[in-house]
A = this chain, B = another copy of it.
């Protein structure tokens, strides 16, 4: 074992925090970890939320005003996290709002190529009844992402 090489630090420089509009309790702790890292290591922080069109029922998704309402809510939530990060002294924060199909597909296919994070931070779903069919986004990203992923509990 080459101990010199083994003791080279691994530091993340571009951190992507995935927040879930429906799971603010779990996202809040992930946010606190993300901002701790950002303060301690001077990282670039991206805060992303994906507006999942599949979350809406067919009637709402056909109604432009309902879509806009949903879009505004996601924008607002990401904006609140960005503001809280800035108030906490984080200088480089980027709000990222995307819209599309599955959250994990969107993050893998669009957000990662755009933002190029080396670490993704996600909360663990705090409501187990919430994801009966699919695993929480953090777990799906941990399995599929090409970069490191932390699921914060």
Contacts and interface: CB of A to CB of B under 8 A. Distances in A.
Contacts of A124: 148
Interface in A1-52: 1, 3, 6-11, 28-29, 31-33, 35-36, 39-40
Interface string A123-148: 01000000000010011001101111
B152 A1 contact: no
B152 A142 contact: no
Nearest to A33: B10
Contact residues on A (Cβ < 8 Å of other chain), bracket: 35 or more
Nearest to A88: B7
Nearest to A11: B36
Contacts of A139: 139, 142-143
A40 to B, nearest CB: 7
Interface string A71-92: 0000000001101100111000
A31 B9 contact: no
Interface in A94-153: 124, 135, 138-139, 142-143, 145-153
Nearest to A121: B150
Contact of A135 (B31, B89, B143): B143
10 A-B pairs with least C-beta separation = A7-B88, A150-B150, A9-B36, A10-B33, A10-B32, A3-B84, A142-B142, A6-B84, A142-B151, A139-B143
